[in-house]
Homo-oligomer: A and B are copies of this chain.
Amino acid sequence: MDTGDRLLTPGEVAALFRVDPKTVTRWAAAGRIGSIRTPGGHRRFRESEVRALLEGEGMLDEADEMGRPRNAGPTASTGPAGPANAGMY
């Protein structure tokens, strides 16, 4: 039980999944992802849990996936520093 779980903000998780921060909040409200609340009401997510969801660990959907590209993006720049949102409307 390594408790080395970094806590991620909704914005961080949203960038990882390429979704809106509000969507991440909905997942927490729906109980699809564990969340910790700060005394002020803001949510925090466990980095280990988020990564498990990204890998699809524990849940295969379609064809088997091999290859395991290590996602080592340290998010130093806080985001793709760019087209975080590709306007398509």
A contact residues vs B (CB 8 Å cutoff): 2-3, 5-9, 11-12, 15, 17-19, 23, 26-40, 44, 53-54, 56, 59, 61-67, 69-71, 73, 80, 82-83, 85-89
Complex interface: chain B residues within 8 A of A6 (CB): 18, 80, 83
Copies of this chain: 2
Interface residues of A, dominant DSSP:
loop
A67 touches B39 (CB 8 A): no
Partner of A17, one of B8, B38, B67: B38
How far apart sit A56 and B29, CA to CA, in the bound complex (Å)?
15
Establish whether residues A35 and B11, one from each chain, have CB atoms under 8 Å apart when the complex forms.
Answer: no
**In the docked arrangement, what's the CA distance between A8 and B84, Å?**
10
